[in-house]
Amino acid sequence: MPDGKTPADVAAFATPVFFDCTDPSADTDPMTDLQIAELRTLADRLGEPFAATLTRREAQDRIVRLRDRL
């Protein structure tokens, strides 16, 4: 791909891991299984540690930051 991204990188952006940030439970509920899978994949690809105890909001924020680095 011309921008250096692989097809897997592009597919990562299509993964629906986002939710309504106005939901107050996002600050206390643990991340979803889909967020766990996405974070593991991104952390592995970027050589970053995987944080297993994030809330849904924290996981969403981390996914955005890691995707930006791809």
Q: What is the pLDDT of residues 43-64, one digit of tens each?
A: 999 999 999 999 999 999 999 9
pLDDT score, position 63: 93
Task: Tell me what the mean pLDDT of segment 29-33 comes to.
Answer: 91
CA dihedral 9, 13, 14, 19 (to 10 degrees): 150
pLDDT, the chain, mean: 81
**The CA-based dihedral angle spanning residues 44, 4, 17, 54, taken in that order and rounded to the nearest 10 degrees:** 40
More confident residue, 15 or 29: 29
Tokens of 12: 């990562």
Q: What percentage of the chain reaches a pLDDT higher than 70?
A: 70
pLDDT band at 24 (very low <50, low <70, confident <90, very high): confident
